[in-house]
Amino acid sequence: MTFLRSWARRRLEASGYIVAQKQKLQAALEANGYMLFNRRSAGIHAHDGLYTYNLTRFAEDPDFQSAYRRGIQASHGVDPQTEWRIHVAIWAARQAARAEGDFVECGVNAGFTSSAILHALDWNRLGRQFYLVDTFAGPVLSQFSEAEIRQGRKQVAEDAAAQGGYVTDIGRIRANFAEWPSVHLVQDAVPGALSQVPARRLAFLHLDMNAALPERAALEYFWDKLSPGAMVLLDDYARYGYAQLQEAIDEAARARGAAVLSLPTGQGLIQK
């Protein structure tokens, strides 16, 4: 039976019947606002909310693969399939390394992104300090605004916490970053934690706290410390469901004569 089905399919394909039916289905879907594509087709990238035919040659680079694996190591083997976001983060960090100052990340969790950056930049040879700011106890739920709660952001955070999505073992975090002596953990909530970062000049700021209040507070606090050419990377700036965060960041950036580059990865990018 398997042979007969395979034979029949080949005959149908040869006759153009299947192609014609696919075209009809695609036309019907597109007429109703949908798109039909095969995620397994060569050249398709379909991860982390990003669906594109554009080239992903960066993912084949051995240095990138090594850095990405270091991120997976930080998350104890969990691969969130965020290759393009990590590619952007590493690129931004490399550009930032040309500017004066230290690095700061607010919103660390397991340390996937920061570990990939540290590995990619061969951090111990760079001569910089990297400050990692997080509660390491999950998100501060009281920081979500009423608008964010209506958008479901608080519920998402609660669900993630219930499912073990936040790393709360500070010993595990310290062990992960032990190979880089100039990495410093600041365990506290933003904005209170910001004054505990002793850096006088910053070259790189990464914000990934999933809420408007702490992200705006961090951007405003560190802005004057950012060196010319410094990079600010916003992990959730353009992601669906984060409209309040985007509006807060846009207001803070405009007040300082800056604009945010919105990226299809869901990230945002500012160069000082």
Structure tokens at 173: 């975090």
pLDDT digits (tens, 9 = 90+) for 1-16: 554 455 555 554 555 6
Per-residue pLDDT, averaged over 55-70, amounts to 94
pLDDT digits (tens, 9 = 90+) for 206-246: 999 999 999 999 999 999 999 999 999 999 999 999 999 99
Q: How far is CA 2 from CA 11, 17, 89, 188, in A?
A: 14, 20, 48, 61
Q: Who contacts 135 (Cβ-Cβ below 8 Å, separation ≥6)?
A: 187, 188, 189
pLDDT at 240: 92
pLDDT digits (tens, 9 = 90+) for 151-179: 999 999 999 999 989 999 999 999 999 99
pLDDT surpassing 60 at residue 46: yes
pLDDT at 22: 66
pLDDT at 4: 46
Element (H, E) at 81: none
pLDDT at 239: 95
Q: Looking at 55-64, 113-122, 191-200, 216-225, which range is the least confident one?
A: 55-64
Q: How far is CA 177 from CA 9, 112, 118, 185, in A?
A: 54, 11, 9, 9
pLDDT digits (tens, 9 = 90+) for 96-137: 999 999 999 999 999 999 999 999 999 999 999 999 999 999
Q: What rounded mean pLDDT belongs to the chain?
A: 90
pLDDT surpassing 50 at residue 181: yes
pLDDT digits (tens, 9 = 90+) for 123-134: 999 999 999 999
Q: What is the pLDDT confidence band of residue 50, given thresholds at 50, 70 and 90?
A: confident
Q: Give percent of the chain above pLDDT 70.
A: 85
pLDDT at 31: 74
- DSSP per position, 174-228: HHHTTT-TTEEEEES-TTGGGGG---SSEEEEEE--SSHHHHHHHHHHHGGGEEE
